[in-house]
Structure 1
Amino acid sequence: MDEPKKLSPLGNDQHEVERVAKAIYQVQVQSARRSVAEIEFDLDEMKRVIDVAIAESDRAASILLFSYAEDMMVEGIKRNLKGDLKGGFKSLLAPNGLLATAHNRTTLLAALRWISTETYEALNVLRSIRNRFAHHVACDSFDDKVISGMVTSLPAFEKPITEQTREKFVGMRQVYLARSLLTVYRVMHEVAVLPHAMANHVDPRDVGGPYEDRPASVHELGLAAADCLLKLVPGNRAG
C-alpha cells in the first residue's frame, strides 16, 4: 500500500513544494553568480605588485603590500556601495570621511560581513606590521623580534595549500609574503562574492561554486593568486 502523500501547510504535495523552492533558490544563485562574473580584476597589477615586493627591502615590501590591500578594500567598497552621496564616493576618503583610514575601511568591511573574521584579523596584523616598519627606523627586517611575532600571529592561510603541494615557505620574509598575498586574495574574492550572496539570500559557497564551475572572474583571480604564490618560492622564479 502506497504511503500517503506529505502535504504542505497549504495542502500542496510537499515534494512539489520542495521542487519549486529549489528552483527559486537556484534562480537567486544564478543571479548572484552573474553579478560576480561581471567583475573585472586588474590581475596584471597583482603580478606587478608581487614582482616589486620580491625585489624590495622588508620595510618597502610591507608598506607596498598593505597599500595594495587597502586599494583592493577601497575598490571593493566602491563597487558594492550604492546610492547617491553628497560629494560622491571621494568624500568618504577625505581626511574626515567615513573611509579615511585603513582601520575604518577594514572595520566597515567586517561590519557589513563582506569579509570573513579571519581576513579581518589578518588585515589588522598587516596594518600593525606596516605601522611598525613605518614608525620605527630601527626595525628593518621581518626577523625583528616584534615584527616576527606579528608575522607568526598572521592566520596561516598557506598551510592548507602547502599540505597538498610541494611548495615550502621558509623564513619570516617568505612566510610574510605568502600570508600577505593570500590575505589580499581573500579580500578580493570575499568582497566579490559575499555582498552578492547576501543580496540574493544564498550561501556564498553556492555562488563561488566548485573549482570547475566557478564564475570566470573568480577563477581567473584564483589562477593569478596561484601564479604569484609560486613566484614567491625561490626555486620557481624565472631568471
Structure 2
Amino acid sequence: MQLSIYTAELAVYITLGIMNNGLDPDIAAMKLSDAEKWGLQVYGNYSRAFGEHRVKEFVEQASPFEAEVTLFEQIAGLVVSEEARVIPVIAAAYADDRLEEMFKREIPDGVPGGRSALMSGFGPLARLSQRLQMAFAFGWLSKDLLIEFDHIRKIRNDLSHKWDVELLVRKMNEFIEEKQTPFEEQLGDGVRLPENFHESMQPVDRFRVRAVWMLGRLTYEARLWVPAIKAGIAPKKALYGPNAPVMLRAIAAISVKATREIACL
C-alpha cells in the first residue's frame, strides 16, 4: 500500500516536472524522436525523485551520535589550548582512532582471521598511513580530507623525530603555508564568523582553525559516509545537502565556537 502511494506521488512529481521544466538540455540535444526523448525524461525524473526520497529517508533516520560529538568537542578544546607543535600529534592520533573504528564497524563479518587482525601487527590496516590509503582507494571518505590528514601524518612524523627548535618552527611554517589548504578563508560568512576574520591571524592560529574543522569533518564522515554508500546514496548529497543530518549542525556549532576562541572574536 505504501509503495503504491509513493508511486502515485512520483507520477504526479514526474508529470509536473515535465510540464514545468520540459526536457533536460542534454536530452533535448539528443538525435532521437520526441517520443524517445520524453521516455528518457520520464525515466530521469523518476530516478531523481526516487533518489531524493532515499536521501530524505537516510537523513531522517541518521543518529545524532552524541558520544562522537562529545568526544570531538573535547578534542577541539585541546586544539585550542595545547602548544602548536603538539596539535599534529593530537590530530593524527584522533584520526587514527576514528578510522580504526570506521573500518571495524563497516568491514563485513567473516574476514579470514577476523577483522581485528587487519588492524593490528602487520595487518594491512594497522597504521594510519594504511588506513588513509584504503579509505581513499575505497572512496569511504572525502578524498580532499584524506589528503589533508596525510599531510598531518607526515608533519607529525617530522616533529616527533626532530628537537631543533628553529627547525621545528621552520617545518611548521612550511607545512602551514605550503602544504595545507587555506580553507579558513571560506569560513567567514558575516553571521557566525566575521568576513575575513582570518586575515589578522598568525599562521599557527590558522593551523589550529584548520585542524578543528578537519577533525570535525572526520568525526562526521567516519560515522555517516559509508552508511550512505551502503544505502545506495551519493554521500556528499546526503551529508552536505540542504537537509543534512542533525549531527552536522552539532559539529559545526563546536567548530565555530572553537574558531572564535582561537581568533579571539
Query: TM-score range with shorter-chain normalisation?
Result: 0.7 to 0.9
Give 2:235's aligned amino acid: P
Compared with structure 1, are the counterparts of its residues 135 and 47 closer, same or farther at alpha carbon in structure 2 (3 Å cutoff)? Answer: same
Q: Greater CA radius of gyration, 1 or 2?
A: 2
Match of 1:191 in 2: 222
Q: Which residue of 2 aligns with 1:208?
A: 239
Contact 2:102-2:222 at 8 Å conserved across structures = yes
Task: Please name the residue that 1:122 is paired with.
Answer: 148
Q: Which residue of 2 aligns with 1:223?
A: 253
Deviation of 1:92 (Å): 2.0
Residue 174 of structure 1, aligned match among 205, 208, 224 = 205
Q: What pairs with 1:38-117 in structure 2 (closer than 5 Å)?
A: 39-117=65-143
Q: What's the counterpart of residue 18 of structure 2?
A: none
How far is 1:161 from its partner? 0.5
SS of the residue corresponding to residue 183 of structure 2 reads coil
8 A contact 1:69–1:187 mirrored in 2: yes
TM superposition score normalised by structure 1: 0.79
Mean Cα deviation higher: 170-179 or 16-25: 16-25
1:157 corresponds to = 183
Amino acid at match of 1:56: E
Residues in 1 aligned to 2:82 and 2:213: alpha-carbon distance in whole angstroms = 19
1:86 Cα shift? 4.3
Unaligned runs of 5+ in 2: 1-32
Instruction: Kindly indicate which of the two structures has a greater share of residues assigned to helix.
Output: 2
SS class of match (2:79) = helix
- What SS does structure 2 have at the residue aligned with 1:42? helix
5+ long unaligned stretches in structure 1: none
Deviates more, 1:27-36 or 1:49-58: 27-36
Letter in 1 for 2:140: W
Query: Mean Cα displacement is larger for which, 158-167 or 95-104?
Result: 158-167
Q: CA RMSD in A?
A: 3.0
Q: Secondary structure at 2:187's aligned position in 1?
A: helix
* Paired letter, 2:186: P
- CA distance in 2 between counterparts of 1:123 and 1:194 reads 17
What is the identity percentage for the equivalent residue pairs of Structure 1 and Structure 2?
Answer: 15
How many residues matched?
227
The answer for the alignment partner of 1:146 in structure 2 is 171
Aligned twin of 1:135 = 161
